[in-house]
Amino acid sequence: MAIELKSLESNTFPSWCPGCGDYGIWMAIKQAMTQMDVPQENYVVVSGIGCGSKMPHWIKTFGFHTLHGRPAPLASGVKLANHDLNVIIVGGDGDGYGIGLGHFTHLMRRNHNLLYIVENNQVYGLTTGQTSPTSDEGYCSHSTPHGTLEVPVNPIKIAVSAGATFVARGFSGDIQHLTSLIKQGVEHKGTAILDVLQPCVTFNKKNTYQWYQERVRKLEEDKSHDITSKVEAFKAAEEWEDRINVGLYYQEDRPTYEDQLPQLQKGPLVDQGVVDVGPVLNRLR
């Protein structure tokens, strides 16, 4: 039975700043859940630390608010314990592309069957707007008053080269399009990465709704874009200052980690009972 939007409401309301792009992502996740044939109790929303990482508090599913940069290993553990669950990771750009970049990269080469949504506001919102790994070159904040000197990480290129089998980008100002990408990401079999352009209205005065709106173009309207080509995904990911591509960049069919692990062939580990390790330990004594 389809989930009703109302039943996804938790008993508290988000404390994000009025106008924050996280509201659009929140709405899009909930809308996508109402449009899929997955029972509510099958979802687990896992997050790190940051403004956007508070998401599990405000969607009534199972959830886990973990440590900064650590949602990927936690989510992998959830999948290994019960791979029948639909796991959605939600976290910021600092969380996934900064402190958690190692975990982010290893997650993709394993191809766990889950969706990772990155709320990419190009700053550290929660800690008052410092430069993040995706801040534009020259971006001024109180941590880089003369402008950052570093070349920003390109999450799309990292995801494609690290082995993600679904790589997309959305914009929190276009909730309908974002909802569709979230649905596609959940329904994809393998690791789906969805980078979301998410204005931080309080601290990022450069990458505003208007700034993104003037640049976003839907890849699906470009009939020549081939989603099976890594080269084309890279080329589309290079565009930024004048045009930013949203939509599906790349998709590939590859066996998931769970499909290949012999221990999971009999079903989820949680259904297999407790294994008696006594005989093994006795042999080692």
Ligand X SMILES: Cc1ncc(C[n+]2csc(CCOP(=O)(O)OP(=O)(O)O)c2C)c(N)n1
Residues that bind ligand X (CB under 6 A): 49-52, 68, 92-95, 119, 121, 123-127, 132
- Encoded one letter per residue, x for contact with ligand SF4 by CB under 6 A and - for no contact, window 188-207 reads ------------xxxx----
Nearest approach, Cβ of residue 54 and ligand SF4 (Å): 9
The site partner of 68 among Mg ion, ligand SF4, ligand X, none (C-beta below 5 to 8 Å per kind) is ligand X
DSSP secondary structure, 114-170, as one string? EEEEEEE-SEETTTTSEE-TTPPTT--BTTBTT---SPPP-HHHHHHHHT-SEEEEE
261: phi > 0 → left, psi -120 to 50 → alpha, else beta; which? beta
The site partner of 173 among ligand X, ligand SF4, Mg ion, none (C-beta below 5 to 8 Å per kind) is none
Nearest approach, Cβ of residue 37 and ligand X (Å): 31
- 118 in contact with ligand SF4 (CB under 6 A): no
- 27 in contact with ligand SF4 (CB under 6 A): no
- 17 in contact with ligand SF4 (CB under 6 A): yes
- Encoded one letter per residue, x for contact with ligand SF4 by CB under 6 A and - for no contact, window 49-68 reads --x-----------------
Would you say 203 or 212 has its CB closer to ligand SF4? Answer: 203
List the one residue from 113, 121, 180, 245 that touches Mg ion (CB under 5 A): 121
Interactions with Mg ion, residue window 123-152 (CB under 5 A)? 125
Closest CA to 71 of 41, 93, 103: 103
Nearest approach, Cβ of residue 93 and Mg ion (Å): 4
Residue 61: CB partners within 8 Å, gap ≥ 6?
8, 33, 40, 41, 43, 44, 45
Q: How far is it, in rounded angstroms, from Cα 145 to Cα 271?
A: 55
The site partner of 201 among ligand X, ligand SF4, Mg ion, none (C-beta below 5 to 8 Å per kind) is ligand SF4
Nearest approach, Cβ of residue 158 and ligand SF4 (Å): 22
The site partner of 227 among ligand X, Mg ion, ligand SF4, none (C-beta below 5 to 8 Å per kind) is none
CB atoms within 10 A of CB 242: 8
Pairing of strands 244-251, 166-171: antiparallel
Burial class (CB within 10 angstroms; exposed 0-12, middle 13-18, buried 19+) of 175: middle
Would you say 68 or 169 has its CB closer to ligand X? Answer: 68
Residue 219 contacts residue 232 (beta carbons within 8 Å): no
Listed ranges 20-28, 64-72, 89-97, 104-112: which one lies at the site for Mg ion (CB under 5 A): 89-97
| Neighbour order of strands in the sheet with 62-65 | 62-65, 43-47, 86-92, 114-120, 191-197, 166-171, 244-251, 216-218
Would you say 28 or 51 has its CB closer to Mg ion? Answer: 51
Helices (H), the chain: 22-34, 71-81, 93-94, 101-110, 155-162, 175-187, 209-213, 230-238, 257-260, 278-284
Interface residues toward Mg ion, by CB under 5 A: 92-94, 121, 125
Interface residues toward ligand SF4, by CB under 6 A: 16-17, 20, 22, 51, 121, 125, 200-203
